[in-house]
Structure 1
């Protein structure tokens, strides 16, 4: 049996002694530190070889401090951290100058603006859209974290910036617990028609009922994303520590392998590492 390299494209680290996370006070299950050492122990056990840190919606004043903090962890001997997706505020006038600063930081591989907890029309703002277009030609990606009802707006943004590589987080955040397959499925099919969108197989265990989900629960969602995007436009992510809400890192890795049963070695290799290495120019 081949040993596949596994690149985690969606790791969150939380250190409340270093950074401020205003939203944590409303999410009791995650309102503690989740530091690199805890993640690294679990990651090594399940075969993760590299990780991209995903911004954790820190206070706006801490956005660049978060990148510096992650950079310090990446410099440690044997660190799994190979890059970072930075928080951003494309709706603000300062984004252009912010982008120029980040372009000089080799750690930063892309950006995200959390949209699923923001007003649905945020991405429709003129300034937001103009700033997203600035990413074209930079090699920097933009992660889309949207609810099913917002996928149409994400698709419109993608169409306005065909030169930007977008990453659709968490299979488009389906409401698995609420049996939301039908609402979500057609929108995934539509956004997948855009060649500049890659889907991230991540996060779904947190959207299922933690006490009752099985592989069969996740299968129609994950398989529809795979069928819609194809093996060259898929990456994998743990969404740690959010995945602890649905069983934890080892459970999600095991579930991923079960969901891919019957797939070829080439297909698994592209999903697990090859596409991520290409998209983010990882060594």
Structure 2
């Protein structure tokens, strides 16, 4: 089993301002030694470490952890997509075999960010050097993501956290219609991660999660969906076993091949593990 989405950090209150007062449970260091026993308990054999800070040092930090911990199978780092010398950076990164792709915290950017010419040019460079790109957005940005994926139809993208449907407000009408459109591109994948924290943290229920999963599976199918936890952020609304058991329950009637794809093989294929 591969967890396609985990984070590691040495907590810095000056840097990590996104971790607010009501998020004290994650206001500390989270390192591979913290998650390894959880993985062993849940029979998870490996993971993808995903950036949480927008800096080159973040990428180096994750690559160092990956070098020290064999269960970190791949890294999704950060790179300045607007850098005119991005190709030079990518050539230097080619020495790191565990570096599989990049991400930008686009959910915090203004309207039009994903479709700017310099962002598109940066993504073309990633595509040239066979790197993937994780799209981190909220549901209102899906229309922009659709334009992006239509502009670069051959590039390999993945939606983090199912594009963050607004489960707290139970207002997912536009999310459903846009998921249907973006999924029509065969090079766009989707992560089953981050949904607990899109609900009311203290009052989520299985039905609202399963309704969301219905939409994702109907459109992406089992060959383009990856299991992920969003650990440790998911601790705001639950624990690791809860989330894994929920996904196992939903997929209980799936074929063995489909389950292998969702929990392992799709991650191996997408990130070239």
| Shared fold (TM-score, shorter chain, > 0.5) | yes
Q: Unaligned regions of 5+ residues in structure 2, if any?
A: none
Q: Unaligned regions of 5+ residues in structure 1, if any?
A: 1-5
Mapped to 2, the partners of 1:137 and 1:192 lie a distance apart of 23
Contact 1:88 1:111 in 2 (8 A): yes
Q: Counterpart in 1 of 2:52?
A: 56
The answer to whether the aligner puts 1:12 opposite 2:4 as a matched pair is no
Q: Counterpart in 2 of 1:260?
A: 251
Mapped to 1, the partners of 2:227 and 2:140 lie a distance apart of 23
More displaced 10-residue stretch of structure 1: 92-101 or 267-276:
92-101
Q: Counterpart in 1 of 2:196?
A: 205
Per-residue displacement from partner, 1:44-79 (whole Å, max 9, x unpaired)?
111111111000124x3xx2x3233223322336x3
Mapped to 1, the partners of 2:138 and 2:100 lie a distance apart of 24
Q: Counterpart in 2 of 1:35?
A: 31
Q: TM-score, normalised by structure 2?
A: 0.93
Matches within 5 A, 1:112-131: 112-131=103-122
Evaluate the alpha carbon distance shift between residue 21 and residue 256 of structure 1 in structure 2; reply closer, same or farther with a 3 A threshold.
Answer: farther
More displaced 10-residue stretch of structure 1: 97-106 or 257-266:
97-106
SS in 1 for 2:126: coil
Matches within 5 A, 1:150-161: 150-161=141-152
Mapped to 1, the partners of 2:122 and 2:141 lie a distance apart of 19
Q: Counterpart in 2 of 1:73?
A: 65
Contact 2:86 2:125 in 1 (8 A): no
Contact 2:90 2:129 in 1 (8 A): no
Aligned-CA RMSD value: 1.9
Mapped to 2, the partners of 1:102 and 1:136 lie a distance apart of 14
Mapped to 2, the partners of 1:25 and 1:152 lie a distance apart of 27
The answer to whether the aligner puts 1:83 opposite 2:79 as a matched pair is no
Contact 1:51 1:80 in 2 (8 A): yes
Mapped to 2, the partners of 1:201 and 1:100 lie a distance apart of 31
Contact 2:49 2:76 in 1 (8 A): yes
Mapped to 2, the partners of 1:125 and 1:27 lie a distance apart of 34
Question: Following TM superposition, by how much is the alpha carbon of 1:255 offset from its aligned partner in structure 2, in angstroms?
Answer: 1.0
Mapped to 2, the partners of 1:249 and 1:94 lie a distance apart of 40
Question: Following TM superposition, by how much is the alpha carbon of 1:27 offset from its aligned partner in structure 2, in angstroms?
Answer: 5.6
| Residue 21 of structure 1, aligned match among 15, 18, 36 | 15
Mapped to 2, the partners of 1:241 and 1:97 lie a distance apart of 33
